[in-house]
């Protein structure tokens, strides 16, 4: 059997699969706890969790509700996972990024995964928690080098791993312009070996491949290029433990390849989603003005354009098909039925020998 397993910082991961963070609220404690319990890294998406919590009753509650909801989710995930590895995805682009990082580590998160911008301040925010693994998401070798050099120079710290997200295949917000999403410079054979070589002078920094990973064969292919593991998000949506409403999962199961589309998000980035009624109707989520002032950059708030991304994603996770934005990777249409996380992890590690 081929060896399987991964060490990120001080955390040993039995199966080298990180379940990608999916917001708003698609990956909470239920999914993250189950993945961690079954040998992977379970990841909670921290963005706007307060909106789907009992703590949010009016606009002024937003930031405090996010902190309380994230606290609860990290603690619940830990109860489910036991000694498994729990991560939190904290987007640099959100206005309460620093609070989300601090709440995560204060309540027992083992790993912070950070993208949607360069997480140059992450080591400072986690300074009192040296055992927490820090993992930036990048879309190029250059971005990885910038982060490593900045962290080393300013904080005497290097990333514990780096996730490379392929914009041609990933779901949600993408780290490339619309015109470049399919450029061959982003392909795994062009990037993974380059990242492995670029990080070599700085020590053992595992490279994690994200986007377009569906089965054990895909895992083997990227690991043959030098990746130490993978991040998978869409594959985990159609599990019983996924925290999204059943209607969200049914959208995945019913979608075909022709149903995927690129939407321009008010964050300023393209995003890949399923082309539902909301997308076809001009993308006008109900509600006037700014609901929560949740982003550092927002075309809806600042210029009155586009739509409220937070409201559209909140609608999706709660099963509002008409008004929801359903982010998805290119493999989402392969979903055909619901399975348990335990079954899925067993399938993905088939032919490998997990570490103990």
Q: Confirm if 42 and 31 have CB atoms less than 8 A apart.
A: yes
Return d(Cα 159, Cα 170) in angstroms, integer: 22
Quick one: 349 and 251 in the same domain?
no
Residues 222 and 273 in one domain: no
What CATH number did the domain enclosing 146 receive?
A: 3.20.20.70
Q: What is the pLDDT of residues 184-201, one digit of tens each?
A: 898 999 999 999 999 999
Please check whether residues 87 and 184 belong to one and the same domain: yes
Which string of DSSP letters, residue by residue, matches 245-297? -HHHHHHHHH--GGGEEEEE-TTSSEEEEE--HHHHTTS--S--S-SS--BSS
Please state, in angstroms and as integers, the Cα–Cα distance from residue 264 to each residue in 25, 173, 178, 181, 268, following that order.
Answer: 21, 9, 8, 13, 7
Residue by residue, DSSP assigns 86-107 as EEEE--TTBTTHHHHHHHHHHT
Whether residues 258 and 215 share a domain: the answer is no
Enumerate residue ranges in the chain where pLDDT < 50.
1, 356
What pLDDT shows up at residue 1?
37
The whole model's pTM is what?
Answer: 0.93
Q: At what angle do helices 29-37 and 341-348 cross, to 10 degrees?
A: 50
Length of the chain equals 356
Residues 254 and 279 in one domain: yes
What are 144's two structure tokens? 């990885």
Shared domain check, 68 and 57: yes
Residues 6+ apart with CB under 8 A from 122: 101, 112, 114, 134, 136, 151
* Closest to 65 in 3D by CA, of 52, 84, 50: 50
Query: What are the b/e assignments for 309-330, b being 16+ CB within 10 Å?
Result: bbbbbbbbbbebbebbbbbbbb
Cβ burial, residue 71 (10 Å; 0-12/13-18/19+): middle
What per-residue confidence (pLDDT) applies to 2? 52
Tell whether 148 and 230 lie within a shared domain.
yes
Same-domain pairing of 66 and 18: yes
Residues 18 and 136 in one domain: yes
Identify the sign of the CA torsion 198, 203, 204, 210. Answer: negative
Same domain, 21 and 154: yes
Domain match, 182 and 275 both: no
User: Are 154 and 257 in a shared domain?
Assistant: no
Number of domains in the chain: 2
Q: Which domain holds residue 254?
A: 247-327
Alpha carbons 319 and 179: distance in angstroms, whole number: 31
pLDDT (0 to 100) of residue 282: 62
3-state DSSP call for residue 12?
A: strand
Q: What is the model's pLDDT at position 311?
A: 86
The DSSP letter of residue 186 is G
């Amino acid at each position: 059997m081929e060896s399987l397993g991964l060490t990120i910082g001080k955390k040993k991961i039995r199966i080298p699969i990180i379940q990608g963070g999916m917001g708003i609220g698609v990956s909470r404690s239920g999914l993250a706890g189950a993945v961690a319990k079954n040998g992977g890294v379970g990841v909670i998406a921290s963005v706007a969790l307060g909106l789907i919590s009992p703590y949010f009753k009016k606009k002024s509650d937003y930031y405090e509700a996010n902190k309380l909801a994230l606290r609860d989710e990290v603690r619940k995930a830990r109860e489910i996972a036991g000694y498994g590895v729990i991560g939190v995805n904290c987007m640099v682009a959100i206005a309460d990024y620093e609070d989300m990082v601090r709440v995560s580590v204060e309540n027992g998160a083992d790993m912070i995964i950070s993208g949607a911008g360069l997480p140059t301040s992450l080591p400072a925010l986690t300074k009192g928690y040296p055992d927490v693994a820090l993992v930036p998401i990048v879309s190029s070798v250059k971005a990885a080098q910038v982060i490593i050099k900045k962290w080393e120079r300013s904080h005497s710290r290097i990333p514990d791993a780096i996730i490379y997200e392929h914009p041609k295949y990933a779901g949600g917000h993408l780290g490339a312009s619309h015109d470049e999403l399919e450029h061959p410079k982003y392909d795994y054979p062009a990037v993974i070996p380059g990242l492995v070589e670029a990080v070599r002078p700085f020590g053992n920094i595992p490279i994690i491949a994200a986007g377009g990973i569906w089965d054990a064969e895909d895992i083997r292919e990227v690991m043959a290029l030098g990746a130490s593991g993978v991040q998978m998000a869409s594959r985990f949506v159609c599990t019983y433990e996924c925290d999204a409403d059943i209607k969200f999962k049914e959208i995945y199961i019913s979608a075909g390849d022709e149903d995927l589309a690129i939407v321009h998000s008010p964050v300023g980035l393209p995003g890949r989603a399923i082309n539902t009624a909301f997308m076809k109707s001009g993308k006008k989520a109900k509600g006037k003005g700014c609901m929560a002032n949740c982003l550092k950059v927002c075309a809806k708030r600042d210029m009155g354009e586009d739509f409220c991304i937070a409201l559209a994603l909140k609608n999706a996770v709660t099963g509002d098909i008409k008004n929801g934005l359903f982010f998805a990777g290119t493999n989402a249409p392969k979903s055909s039925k619901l399975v348990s996380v335990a079954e899925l992890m067993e399938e993905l590690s088939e032919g490998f020998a997990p570490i103990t």
